């Protein structure tokens, strides 16, 4: 019987790409968009591995991982692998403290995904063709405007946290489709103040229009 993997990520491009790669390796894959849906999915059936985005709406990956650890029985520990765009020591320690076991950096490289799966579920081999890039770009173009609006709303409300969270979500998807200028602007938006965010947001809107056309 194929092993079952749960993928939790609020970015459509990431979900599609990861699900496709894992399915080609022979796994059964379910996808969800936030930590609350993780809890619902695990309540329905056990999984052999969970890929957990750290930053998701409604409930983030840290709290969802803590919930899993608190509610698992003593005889079970589901491997949880963090999806993270931040690879510093402090960020990884936060993942470990929440109960996660391993890390995959965004944008996700196929070789790194294979390494993690092989470590926790046994040997797996890649080699099937990659997902069609046009499909990934289509998903990104459908998702990106909502994240850009959220950044703009955060600016209007003076909410630096909202700006950073929306920029983080947009960053991971842009990296997977090769929109590296958008990726770089989002990375700056995650770390700047309101004055800097206003300047960067204008550049982001222009860059997205140019990239889309």
Cα→Cα distances 202→36, 89, 150, 161, 170, Å: 33, 32, 14, 18, 15
Where among 75, 101, 121 does a domain terminate? 121
Query: What's the predicted TM-score (pTM) here?
Result: 0.82
CA distance 191 to 177: 22
Same domain, 12 and 107: yes
Residue 48, domain extent: 4-121
pLDDT in tens, 93-145: 899 999 999 989 887 888 888 899 999 998 876 555 566 778 889 999 999 99
Query: In angstroms, rounded to a whole number, what is the distance separating the alpha carbons of residues 125 and 9?
Result: 24
Structural domain ending residue among the three candidates 67, 101, 121:
121
pLDDT in tens, 144-187: 999 999 999 999 999 998 999 899 889 988 988 889 999 999 99
User: Where among 93, 121, 149 does a domain terminate?
Assistant: 121
42 close to 35: Cβ distance less than 8 angstroms: no
Q: From the centroid of its chain, how far is CA 48? A: 19
């Amino acid at each position: 019987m194929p092993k079952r993997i749960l993928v939790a990520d609020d970015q459509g491009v990431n979900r599609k790409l990861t699900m496709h790669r894992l399915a080609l390796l022979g796994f059964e894959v379910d996808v969800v968009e936030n930590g609350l849906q993780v809890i619902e999915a695990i309540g329905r059936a056990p999984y052999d591995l969970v890929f957990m985005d750290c930053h998701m709406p409604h409930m983030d990956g840290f709290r969802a991982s803590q919930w899993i650890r608190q509610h698992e029985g003593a005889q079970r520990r589901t491997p949880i692998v963090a999806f993270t765009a931040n690879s510093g020591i402090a960020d990884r320690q936060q993942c470990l403290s929440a109960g996660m076991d391993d890390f995959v950096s965004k944008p996700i490289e196929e070789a790194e995904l294979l390494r993690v799966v092989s470590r926790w579920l046994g040997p797996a081999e890649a080699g099937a063709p990659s997902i069609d890039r046009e499909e990934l770009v289509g998903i990104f173009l459908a998702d990106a405007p909502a994240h850009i609006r959220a950044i703009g709303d955060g600016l209007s409300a003076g909410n630096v946290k909202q700006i950073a969270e929306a920029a983080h979500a947009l960053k991971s998807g842009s990296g997977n489709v090769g929109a590296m200028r958008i990726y770089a602007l989002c990375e700056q938006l995650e770390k700047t103040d309101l004055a800097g965010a206003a300047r960067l947001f204008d550049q982001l809107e222009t860059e997205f229009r140019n990239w889309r056309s």
